[in-house]
Amino acid sequence: MKQITSLLLFALLATAPRTALADGYPAKTILDSGVNVVGEKIVYPTTGPANVKAAIVIMAPGEKTIVHKHGVPLFAYVLEGELTVDYEGHGKRIYRTGAAFLEAMHVWHYGINAGTVPVKLLAVYMGAKGSENVIPKR
């Protein structure tokens, strides 16, 4: 867990310009929200003990994810490239390098790399043991 936390902190700080906050802590806020990209309020699952999982998602040009939704809040940060996400009935959004967002939970969606370079996305699932991070549409 310590390595994941260190990786997350490094990724966020390495891509944001250093700005000292009023208390002198070297950080720049990249996201501060209680709702996700489609306006759903963030609610944490109660299926078990808290669990955070961080992953780097890499998508080649032209690659598309499965249609899915999430059982837990998901913080995402685009490290490289450009990702287009289609939210059924809620339109499409394009996220470029440096974009931070809270992903939709209860809306089916899929992502596609429509660009010419790989997309690298930091995905941080903020859930609980027994919850599904990614729920495929069947």
Q: pLDDT by residue (tens digit) across 69-128?
A: 999 999 999 999 999 999 999 999 999 999 999 999 999 999 999 999 999 999 999 999
What domains, with CATH codes, occur in the chain? 30-136 (2.60.120.10)
Predicted confidence band at 5 (pLDDT cuts at 50, 70, 90)? very low
Residue 19 burial by CB count (10 A; 0-12/13-18/19+): exposed, middle or buried? exposed
Global pTM reads: 0.82
Q: How many C-beta atoms lie closer than 10 Å to residue 98's C-beta?
A: 12
107 neighbors 90 (Cβ within 8 angstroms): yes
Rounded to whole angstroms, the Cα distance separating 81 from 60 reads 10
Q: Is the dihedral of CA 27, 95, 127, 2 positive or negative?
A: negative
